Amino acid sequence: MSDDPIELLKQLVSINSVNPDLVPGGAGEAAIGDFCSAWFAARGFEVHRVEEHPGRPSIVGIARGTGGGRSLMFNGHYDTVSIASYDGNALDPVIRDGRLYGRGSFDMKGGVAAMMVAAARAKAKGVRGDIIVTCVADEEYASFGTEEVAARFKADAAIVTEPSHLELTIAHRGFAWFDVTVHGRAAHGSRPELGIDAIAKAGKFLVALEDYDKRLRAKPTHALLKSGSVHASLISGGEEISSYPAECRISLERRTIPGETPQSVERELQAIIDGIAASDPDFRASIKAGLSRPPFEVAESEPVVVALNAAATQHLGRAPTLRGEPFWTDCAILQGAGIPCVMFGADGTGAHAATEWVSIESVEMLADILTAVAVEFCA
């Protein structure tokens, strides 16, 4: 159980923690949770195991301060996507040309290793505020890990160590999933006068959906995130080749920016359906909302952003780039729980890909920067 971020990262990568909601039969987070619990306990952290979903624990290590300082949360997920598609042995951390290869090295065990080591270093230096390190389950699917943690633990600010190439992420998009069911009328294929082809009618909706996406992206309104987007993800319909299909279901995803909500998106989709129905009396469709996650944005003036920007500038020798991400992260959950949040992580590539690696130098730099932030912010 090393205090060196790269040695710790190698140990984390070697533990199978494939998310079983993504990959049936995946190992889950029990083994890596046990490892992190032991690591924190050996260094005098107060250890909590949050496990509403059996076998899917999130581990919280708390370095209690001496009192009177601000508290800071580090957050990172230790579940991964599949190892089956990895090119080579996904659980064998290989160092080559300044890079560490292995599943989860970039997304995001590099960030987890750096934040664990940074918290231990800051604890050893002595701070007044608490440092709360949350190693969470299930970010790759539904993020129940961070939801469970945020319901139980609070902090004055948080840093999520998702990979960001040592750039400050102060905004990211959200998403909303919907099922649109187009309704037809079942009939024998030889009786067109009796049937309404739901699949053919769904084509009108798909054309309108494409136009909707073009309109969104043609008018960017956010400085970092530009605009939202929409796409059809899944389509199903019909029962047999000799019958008119009674239904066609389209599952779609709408990526959102600050100011957009699932409710506003549903109104836009309903307007599309109403517009088609106005010109085609045989067109009928219904909407069902699915999973949604809000977009995220934090002010540059927020104290944790200011502190992180200052520490990164000192260690990098330049001011870090401020960026917005197209993908969703647990930042939105923490921000929604009243914890001001910023994202800052290591450099590399290959998230969810056949080859994945993280820059060794960036993980070491990340640990140094996070240590400096914790000491300053919690002082």
User: Residue 139 catalytic?
Assistant: yes
What tokens were used for 131? 């440092």
Q: How far is residue 366's CA from residue 346's CA, in Å, rounded to a whole number?
A: 6
Distances (CA, A) of 46 to 38, 115, 253, 297: 11, 16, 41, 31
User: Residue 79 catalytic?
Assistant: yes
The CA radius of gyration of the chain, in Å to the nearest whole number, is: 24
**Mind giving me the DSSP string for 262-328?**
HHHHHHHHHHHHHHHHHH-TT-EEEEEEEEEE--EE--TTSHHHHHHHHHHHHHHTSPPPEEEESS-
Cβ–Cβ under 8 Å, residues 68 and 153? no
Of the candidates 29, 79, 107, 162, the residue annotated as catalytic is 79
Q: DSSP class of residue 47?
A: E
Of the candidates 130, 138, 139, 330, the residue annotated as catalytic is 139
Nearest CA to 295 out of 242, 356, 227 is that of 227
CA atoms within 13 A on the CB side of 35: 22
Nearest CA to 99 out of 6, 214, 197, 237 is that of 6
Q: How far is residue 257's CA from residue 222's CA, in Å, rounded to a whole number?
A: 7
**Mind giving me the DSSP string for 92-110?**
S-EEETTEEESTTIIIIIH
Cβ–Cβ under 8 Å, residues 374 and 69? no
Distances (CA, A) of 236 to 2, 158, 199, 250, 316: 51, 42, 9, 7, 51
Q: Catalytic site residues?
A: 79, 139
